[in-house]
Amino acid sequence: MAETIVPVSHEPPAEATHLRHHFATEEQQMDASTLGMWTFLITEVLFFGGMFAGYAVYRNLYPAAFASSSQYMNVVLGGTNTAVLICSSLTMALAVRAAQLSKQRDLILFLILTMIFGTIFLVIKGFEYHDKWVEGLVPGLHWGSYPEAPQFAHNAQILFFLYFCMTGMHALHMIIGLGLLSFLLIQAYRRVFHANYFAPVEMIGLYWHFVDIVWIFLFPLLYLIGHRR
Amino acid sequence: MATIAHGTPETVATEVNYLNVEHGWKSWLFTTDHKRIAVLYIISITLMFFVGGAMAVGFRVNLLEPQGIFSAETYNRLFSMHGIIMVFFFLVPSIPATLANFLIPIMIGAKDLAFPRVNLLSWYLYVAGAVLTMYAVFRGGVDTGWTFYVPYSSTYSNSYVLAAAFGVFTAGFSSILTGLNFIVTVHKMRAPGMTWSRLPLFVWSNYATGLIQVLGTPVLAITLLLLAFERIAHVGIFDPAIGGDPILFQHLFWFYSHPAVYIMILPGMGVISEIVSCFSHKRIFGYNFVAFSSMAIAVLSFVVWGHHLFITGQSVYTALAFSILSFLVAVPSAIKVFNWTATMHKGSVSFDTPMLYALGFIGLFTIGGLTGLYLATLAVDVATHGTYFVVAHFHYVMVGGMVMAYMGGLHYWWPKITGRMYSEAWSKFAALIIFVGFNLTFFPQFILGYMGMPRRYHAYPPEFQMLNVLSTAGASILGVGYIIPFVYMLWSLKYGPKAGKNPWGASGLEWKIPSPPTTYNFDDTPIITEEAYNYGPVEEVIG
Amino acid sequence: MSMHVPIPKVSTLVGVWAALIVLTGTTSAVSYVELGEWNIVVALLIAFMKASLVVWVFMAIRHSTTLTRLFCIAGLLWLGIMIVITFGDYSTRNWTYQAQPWSHTKAVGGSH
Ligand SMILES: [Cu+2]
């Protein structure tokens, strides 16, 4: 067993400026970050999953109360935001592509576009929150008499709490995403990324798409359920 | 030893190692070396262990008298803080963040974990969580029990629930990052030739633990967040007054916290596999079964959580399913116990201190596991769930199992971590004291539970006094048993004889490098050509 | 050493974007049609289709290793375990005991 340690030649790759000391090759480093990011996204799935489980339980318990909430949900704003996020996902994918092709100007352009779409989303969300506050639909803090369906005034609170909790957590992830994107933007201005080094763009891209996917489920569950009941 | 062109001078055969390569507090607080981070973790969890232990001293003293010595209020806070600190700040990080952090890269032939900076971040998150929780302790503590059940925690408790809950929330992220790091490391950092079937079982069990940490802990995070909203703003999600269901909290909480029991025991099983094989000087019996039983436990642990809800309003049909599924966990656990026993069979067993702990583990874990089957039985659980029977059961698993394994592992790898040997006589004596103290503390609690003494009360009928006094006496012996190793291990740091590369004659990569190892573990990436536990028929000890 | 990664075509990315927009329109439109219990089924099916498109193309799982795909599926599976079992509790809480031909006892309580 003493013979198991055999020296392997260790020549650092020529342009390995971003290879950290404990990896053998850039490929290994890239594989590790990709797997790490996907693992992180799994934790995010389960984090949001707790709220989705709560949604499933209460929607099953109080279907009528949940349906009654639909008249307070602004489908136009929700739909617009869905479209805005899908656009931001496209520009994010294009940004990753630009980095992979070493197209510096395209990368900067698409990162800025992604950030603009992200900001539009948050602004629209802010208007929606404001409307809810004015209408007294914020459980715990400002809950009115729920005039359109007073018989559900109790149970509908749970739905509105889930609405705020789920969209709020989603918005928080958007804000963190915008922070990460500005970090990428600064790096992109410094021409850090090129065809041989684009892992951060790709990783943050994965995160951004994940946040998009969460909204893809939130939109139908919160906005589209229970019309015309 | 020379490292490969990373700033360390190329001097040969001087004793530069990870401990003396740099000095000063900055070199520790900003380190990304997995071994130094492991040491930071050992110090922090030891501190928290003694804090949690102090709480236990408090309520064991209270239980000397049937009417209690302290107020009910104080008693509630003592046992709640004991549980919170021991579970989230000692047991969950105990082996993964310390021994596994130190050993996984070495065992698979890597220079570090995949994400060294994330590893450091996880320690800082742990410290932040511990500080928050200690803040809650100093403000007067929490009285909800470690489970934070609503509506106690949301509506009725006047204690520092939020600070403690956020402390646990933060420590949870530390645990997630550790698990994530292990998973990626085991997948991507293995040295050439280190195939999955050559991985030491300690790595397998910590890989399985990593999966649980990653898949379960986020649910704890969201559960505590929902609890915080409920407590701060009374949003009603768990409040029956507006249609919320407190049992939903329990579902989400136990979706994490049952698997968390395996976060606390699986790494211990990994330690025992290493120790039993080493001190039987024999290849582990049924390697594949032991490895896959870790994975089976990880998966099964996620479908049994409802056995904690047998006496709530959970549907009886779901309860029935959970009961049956809970029995299934016994299968992979028993496979491990049988394989350890079979490994010892016809081996040349030597009874060094780590082996004493391992033997203690096997016996006590078996008792803890079998009583777990009683509790998985729906009807029996209804009678015993709220009693000391449950307390005794999980302490046999957590303390008799995990703490024994942690102590065993610490004694086994101490020469590797510090480069020093501890006193053999004292360590054997302490192991014996701990074993006796433990059984004296917790065996009476099985009887108390069987007789119907409810848990979590500061007072009890006088006929239970005898057994309670025995239990408190045992606890004081146990306490002494934990202080002795603390002393002789500190002593060994300075005065202990130097340990060689391989004081136990063990197989495994970690025993082929110097004690303590150098910063990057290996001068050159090793190539692995043999399976783990290659103890030949003829004993071959490499000094 | 250069990294050999497949670079997506712009037309593919734009195509996926168009599909996502169309599906968003579809799910909004369908929600105005009364389908009873099927409304949520359709809405979730469309959401899964959209999510799959994002994961498959934008998140480039079509080019990734089996391991990454396995992790992705594991995440979904565990989410499923949590939701299905929790939901199972709530949907069976009100089941009542019905005497079956093979039962030894008759249902008690008189209410059924
Ligand atoms: Cu359990």
Q: Tens digit of pLDDT per residue, chain B (543 long)? A: 333 444 444 444 457 899 888 888 999 999 999 999 999 999 999 999 999 999 999 999 999 999 999 999 999 999 999 999 999 999 999 999 999 999 999 999 999 999 999 999 999 999 999 999 999 999 999 999 999 999 999 988 888 999 999 999 999 999 999 999 999 999 999 999 999 999 999 999 999 999 999 999 999 999 999 999 999 998 989 999 888 999 999 999 999 999 999 999 999 999 999 999 999 999 999 999 999 999 999 999 999 999 999 999 899 999 999 999 999 999 999 999 999 999 999 889 999 999 999 999 999 999 999 999 999 999 999 999 999 999 999 999 999 999 999 999 999 999 999 999 999 999 999 999 999 999 999 999 999 999 999 999 999 999 999 999 999 999 999 999 999 999 999 999 999 999 989 999 998 899 999 989 998 999 888 999 888 888 865 444 444
| Core vs surface per residue C9-42: b (16+ CB within 10 A) or e | eeeebeebbeebbebbeebbebbeeeeeeebbeb
pTM of the predicted model, to two decimals?
0.92
Are the CB atoms for A108 and A120 separated by under 8 Å? no
**pLDDT at residue C56 is higher than 70:** yes
- Amino acid letter for position C74: A
Verify whether the Cβ–Cβ distance A94 to C82 is below 8 Å: no
Please choose, from the candidates B266, B277, B429, the residue with its C-alpha nearest in 3D space to the C-alpha of residue B353: B429
Total domains in the fold of chain A: 1
C89 interfacial to chain B (CB closer than 8 Å): yes
By residue range, what is the domain housing residue C46? 10-90
Strand-pair partners of A142: A138
* Mean pLDDT, residues A95-122 taken together: 96
- Are the CB atoms for B164 and B136 separated by under 8 Å? yes
User: Within a domain: residue A94?
Assistant: yes
**A158/B242 CB distance under 8 A:** yes
C78: nearest CB among B247, B302, B306? B302
The string of DSSP letters for A64-121 reads HHHHHGGGGS-HHHHHHHHHHHHHHHHHHHHHHHHHHTT-HHHHHHHHHHHHHHHHHH
Other Cβ atoms less than 10 A from the Cβ of B358: the count is 32
pLDDT in the model for residue B167: 96
Task: Enter the ipTM.
Answer: 0.91
Ligand 1 centroid – CA B146 distance (Å): 14
Instruction: Read off the pLDDT of each residue in A8-15 and give the average, rounded to a whole number.
Output: 42
Question: Residue C75 domain-assigned?
Answer: yes
pLDDT at A13 exceeding the cut of 80? no
What torsion do the CA atoms of B442, B446, B448, B451 make, to the nearest 10 degrees? 180
Residues B147 and B165: their CA atoms lie apart, in Å, by 10
Which tokens is B47 given?
A: 């501190």
Q: Does C21 touch chain A (CB under 8 A)?
A: yes
**C-alpha span between B445 and B463 (Å, rounded):** 14
Using the Cβ of C81 and the Cβ atoms of chain B, whether some distance falls under 8 Å is answered with yes
Question: Is the pLDDT assigned to residue A88 strictly greater than 90?
Answer: yes
Angle, nearest 10°, between helix axes B34-62 and B116-139? Answer: 20
Which of B242, B186, B235 shows the shortest CA–CA distance to B209? B186
* Distance set, CA B76 to CA A72, A176, B141, B232, B398 (Å): 45, 39, 9, 22, 21
Structure confidence at residue A26 as a pLDDT band (50, 70, 90):
confident
Per mean pLDDT, which range of A68-72, B70-74, C61-65, C69-73 is the poorest? A68-72
Considering the domain boundaries, does residue C2 fall inside one? Answer: no
Which residues neighbour A170 within 8 Å (Cβ) at sequence distance 6 or greater?
Answer: A48, A211, A214, A215, A218
Q: Is A106 exposed, middle or buried (0-12, 13-18, 19+ CB in 10 A)?
A: middle
Distance B340 CA to ligand 1 centre (A): 24
Q: Is residue A196 part of a domain?
A: yes
In a domain, A8, yes or no: no
A 31-90 residues inside an 8 A Cβ radius of C: 31, 34-35, 38-39, 41-42, 45-46, 49-50, 52-53, 56-57, 60-61, 75, 79, 82-83, 86-87, 89-90
| Interchain contact, A141 vs B233, CB within 8 Å | yes
Within-domain flag for A14: no
The structure tokens listed for A97 are 């592509």
Looking at chain B, which residue has its C-alpha nearest residue C74?
B215
Quick check: is A208 in a domain?
A: yes
Q: Assess whether pLDDT exceeds 70 at residue A5.
A: no
- Structural domains in chain B, CATH included, are 25-528 (1.20.210.10)
Tally of domains in chain C: 1
Helix (H) or strand (E) holding A142: strand A142-143
Q: Across the interface, which of A32, A57, A139 has its CB nearest the CB of B184?
A: A32
Res A16: pLDDT:
46
* pLDDT at site C105: 60
Q: What are A161-188's pLDDT values in tens digits?
A: 999 999 999 999 999 999 999 999 999 9
Count CB neighbours of B172 within 10 A. 26
- The parent domain of residue A201 ranges over 35-224
